[in-house]
Chains A and B, each alone.
Chain A
Amino acid sequence: QSALTQPASVSGSPGQSITISCTGTSSDVGSYNLVSWYQQHPGKAPKLMIYEVSKRPSGVSNRFSGSKSGNTASLTISGLQAEDEADYYCCSYAGSSTYVVFGGGTKLTVL
């Protein structure tokens, strides 16, 4: 069982927007603005899409955005494209005893 809870799957049609939630606790997501999101295509290494809750690394499309409210972080993808179909993982700093926790992952299907 993962420390952060994500929906197993989400889906959307091209051009639509989807949101993936990542629920933690007051010991991780709720206490630190240190949430990151990763995209993983089959057989590939994960790719950093969002860091510090809402910041985008250079080269990542502005269709990807992140936010946080309380113990839940969210990744929103607008203007869905076929190449967005992938697994998405959230990650949070969890303090000086647990350090780093990942979510269980969400499979995004573009219909």
Chain B
Amino acid sequence: QLQLQESGPGLVKPSETLSLTCTVSGGSISSSSYYWGWIRQPPGKGLEWIGSIYYSGSTYYNPSLKSRVTISVDTSKNQFSLKLSSVTAADTAVYYCARQLWFDYWGQGTLVTVSS
């Protein structure tokens, strides 16, 4: 059974960089059939796709976040990572990682709060 687990700091200061890692177990991140994505959900609000990566390193990002987002992959560790720079309070959200062709497997989510 494929499992995804997000990890990273739960509190980030304004203007700093948010960094999260998603560890995939029960399957290989190098599967040729899937991308791996990040989605976030501000408290009490809807889902927002952030971006996705293929095991080869090909990425595509939400145009509204593109200037601040970097997603990378480490196939040796079966992990992919998210960096979001210059964060503000508006970036406070639960961040999910998911397997994507359809978002069929999700991590449990991790709350990241942006506050000084």
Residues of A whose CB lies within 8 Å of any CB of B are 2, 36, 38, 45-48, 51-52, 57, 89, 91, 97-105
Q: Which residues of B contact A100 (CB under 8 A)?
A: 37, 49, 52, 62
Tell me, yes or no, whether B60 is within 8 Å of chain A by CB. Answer: yes
How far apart are A48's CB and chain B's nearest CB, in angstroms? 5
Most central of B47, B63, B104 by chain A CB within 10 Å: B47
Cβ B107 vs Cβ A45 within 8 A: yes
Contact string against A for B residues 17-33, beta-carbon threshold 8 Å, 1 for contact and 0 otherwise: 00000000000000000
Question: Do A102 and B108 form a contact, CB below 8 Å, given A46-B103, A91-B103?
Answer: no
Cβ A51 vs Cβ B102 within 8 A: yes
Q: Which residues of B contact A51 (CB under 8 A)?
A: 102, 104
Q: Which residues of A contact B37 (CB under 8 A)?
A: 100
Cβ A97 vs Cβ B49 within 8 A: no
A-B contact count (CB 8 A): 49
Kindly report which residue of chain A lies nearest to residue B106, judged by CB atoms: A45
Q: Quick one: which of B46, B47, B48, B103 contacts A48, CB cutoff 8 A?
A: B103
Expressed in whole angstroms, the Cα–Cα distance for A37 and B17 within the complex equals: 31
Q: Quick one: which of B46, B49, B63, B107 contacts A105, CB cutoff 8 A?
A: B46
Expressed in whole angstroms, the Cα–Cα distance for A99 and B60 within the complex equals: 8
Q: Which residues of B contact A99 (CB under 8 A)?
A: 49, 52, 60-62
Cβ A102 vs Cβ B46 within 8 A: yes
How far apart are A5's CB and chain B's nearest CB, in angstroms? 11
Q: Can you list 15 A-B contacts (CB < 8 A)?
A: A38-B47, A45-B96, A45-B107, A45-B108, A46-B96, A46-B103, A46-B106, A48-B102, A48-B103, A51-B102, A52-B102, A100-B49, A102-B49, A103-B46, A105-B47
Q: Which residues of A contact B46 (CB under 8 A)?
A: 2, 89, 102-105
